[in-house]
Structure 1
Amino acid sequence: MRNIKTTTIINEAKRLLIEASFNLPCDVMEAVKSAAKKEISERAKKILELVLENAKIAKKQKLPLCQDCGLVYIDLDIGPDICIKDSSSLNSLLNQAVADTYTSNYLRKSIVSDPLYERKNTSGNTPAVIHTSFTSSPGLHIKIYLKGGGSENCSYLYMLNPSTGEDEIIKLVLDVVKKYVTKCCPPVIVGIGVGGTSSEVVKLARTASFRNLEIRNPDKRYR
């Protein structure tokens, strides 16, 4: 059994928050480069080139990749060999880590305590959305995602019949992308979840959208 202090987790969370805020992942960078080379529209090509230039400036000058610094998602996958000391305070400490990181790095804080009436800013971009899973894989894995409003504004959930086939789902996805793609922030990465309850399928779509772009489903039918 490995004992891990909460301070170790908090320090790693802060590091990942900074990494996500200022550095475009390598797989996304390569995908944008590839898209820019293939693009036949001069306007679209220019936009993709601006995305790459923006990423270089953000990394060099330690500036946010986007003015919308996102809602923070923190996923903790805890293996059977891990014991976290003082785990009862972990969520509050993670939220404090988010607030500290956003403040010290001058990241925009967008979260409000009440979405409908007072709309008072929480002043720390908190609370973060924290998911804890106990897995059969050894070790402790921390994943942090920053999800901005530009992607949330184009999230859609459809309740389909169990008899709905592959062709119908493909058509539905393509129709949605064609209709709403101009309302979200480019470059667009489409995450698709199929099956499960409404709440679970949204989580599947989020997982898919943040997965390394070089990874393909081992089941060829889903590629």
Structure 2
Amino acid sequence: MRNIKTTTIINEVKRLLIEASFNLPCDVMEAVKSAAKKEISERAKKILELVLENAKIAKKQKLPLCQDCGLVYIDLDIGPDICIKDSSGLNSLLNQAVADTYTSNYLRKSIVSDPLYERKNTSGNTPAVIHTSFTSSPGLHIKIYLKGGGSENCSYLYMLNPSTGEDEIIELVLDVVKKYVTKCCPPVIVGIGVGGTSSEVVKLARTASFRNLEIRNPDKRYRRLEKKILDAINETGIGP
């Protein structure tokens, strides 16, 4: 059994928040570079190049990648070999870590205490959305998502029939892309979840969007479906 102090977790969360705010992940950088090389539209190529330039400036000057610094999601996957010491107040400490990091790094704070009436800014970009899962995999894994409105506002949920097949799923994805993708902040990564309850499938879609872009589904059926969907989306011609 490995004992991990809450201070260790808090320090790592702060580090990851800074990393996510200022640095575009390597797989996304490579994907945008590849898209820019392949793009035949000069306007689209220029916009993709601007995305890359923005990422370089953000990294070099320690500036946010986007003016919308996002709602913070923190996922803690705790393995059977991990014991977190003094974990009773962990959520409060995580929220304090978010507030401290956003304040000290001059990141925009967008969260309000009440969504409908007072809409008073909490002044710390808190509360964060915190998920804790106990897994069979050893170790402690921390994932940080900064979910901006440009992606969140274009999320969509369909309630499918048990008889729904892959052709219908492809059409539904295309329908959402055609209606909403021009309102999203590029570059657009489409995360799709299928199965489970409404709350569970949204989590699946979020997990899919977080996956490294160079990794494909290990199941060849879903890997083939991913390619069909990607090809169909790109064939729409919707882009920068």
TM-score after normalising by structure 2: 0.91
Aligned residue pairs total 222
Q: Which deviates more from structure 2 when the two are superposed, residues 192-201 or residues 174-183?
A: 174-183
Q: Distance in 2 between matches of 1:30 and 1:197?
A: 34
Shift of 1:175: 1.9
Note the residue ranges of structure 1 that are not aligned, 5 or more in a row: none
Q: Distance in 1 between matches of 2:138 and 2:209?
A: 25
Q: Does the residue aligned with 2:75 lie in a helix, a strand or coil?
A: strand
Q: Does the residue aligned with 2:115 lie in a helix, a strand or coil?
A: coil
Q: Distance in 1 between matches of 2:82 and 2:175?
A: 45
Shift of 1:43: 1.3
Residue matched to 1:220: 220
Shift of 1:87: 0.2
Shift of 1:49: 0.5
Alignment deviations for residues 37-88 of structure 1 (CA, whole Å, 9 cap, x no partner): 1111111111111000000000000000000000000000111111111100
Q: Does the residue aligned with 2:90 lie in a helix, a strand or coil?
A: helix
Q: Does the residue aligned with 1:67 lie in a helix, a strand or coil?
A: coil
Shift of 1:202: 0.4
Shift of 1:4: 0.6
Alignment deviations for residues 2-23 of structure 1 (CA, whole Å, 9 cap, x no partner): 1111000000000000000000
Note the residue ranges of structure 2 that are not aligned, 5 or more in a row: 223-240
Q: Which deviates more from structure 2 when the two are superposed, residues 100-109 or residues 176-185?
A: 176-185
Q: Distance in 1 between matches of 2:59 and 2:83?
A: 35
Shift of 1:137: 1.0
Q: Distance in 1 between matches of 2:135 and 2:180?
A: 37
Shift of 1:28: 0.2
Q: Distance in 2 between matches of 1:38 and 1:178?
A: 22
Q: Distance in 2 between matches of 1:180 and 1:94?
A: 33
Alignment deviations for residues 81-107 of structure 1 (CA, whole Å, 9 cap, x no partner): 111111001000000000000000000
Q: Does the residue aligned with 1:93 lie in a helix, a strand or coil?
A: helix
Alignment deviations for residues 88-141 of structure 1 (CA, whole Å, 9 cap, x no partner): 010000000000000000000000000111000000000000000101111111
Q: Distance in 2 between matches of 1:42 and 1:155?
A: 29
Q: Does the residue aligned with 2:56 lie in a helix, a strand or coil?
A: helix
Residue matched to 2:163: 163
Q: Does the residue aligned with 1:133 lie in a helix, a strand or coil?
A: strand
TM-score after normalising by structure 1: 0.98
Shift of 1:188: 0.3
TM-align CA RMSD? 0.6
Residue matched to 1:34: 34
Q: Distance in 1 between matches of 2:139 and 2:172?
A: 39
Q: Distance in 2 between matches of 1:174 and 1:34?
A: 23
Q: Distance in 2 between matches of 1:43 and 1:112?
A: 38
